[in-house]
Amino acid sequence: MLKKLFKPKPTSFVAPMTGELIPITEVKDPVFSEKAAGDGFAIILEEGNVYSPVDGEVLIVFPTKHAIGLKSDDRNQYLVHIGLNTVEHGGKGLTSHVEVGMRVSKGDLLVEVDHDYFKQENVDLTSPILITNLNGRKVNLLKQGKVTAKEADILAITV
């Protein structure tokens, strides 16, 4: 009964991009949908660029710029993966604005995305966002459907 009275408290996190927010289990890649790479959710990137969802530090920027690892000030670690097959394009269509060790704030530009290029190449821009250090905690989506970049209160991480 108490669980119905209290909603999970939102995590200090904003949507890193604009698009359709979906559960990770709906991603059309089994590495993500079966949670082999971790739990989280995805946003089908529809327009615009990719922004930092947290205040924290950049831990990794893949050479192909398709994924960025972040450690938030609340110690959660995130992997923002842009699109499903963007790695195969060797960085083309993506312009990184961060490097390892940089301090970022919510809403800072991480990566510019050339939507025209990816549309021409028929690339699925479903973008998984994983929490890589859950350690038994659970991901709770507080919203589904359309989200706007920098929108708050979409995610809670609970025990």
Q: Which is catalytic among the residues 66, 81, 89, 115?
A: 81
Q: What is the DSSP string of the chain?
A: -HHHHSPPPPPS-B-SSEEEEEEGGGSSSHHHHTTTT-EEEEEEEEES-EE-SSSEEEEEE-TTSSEEEEEETTS-EEEEE-SSSGGGGTTTTEEE---TT-EE-TT-EEEEE-HHHHHHTT---EEEEEETT-TT-EEEES--EEE-TT-BS-EEEE-
The verdict on whether 66 is a catalytic residue reads: no
The catalytic residues are 81
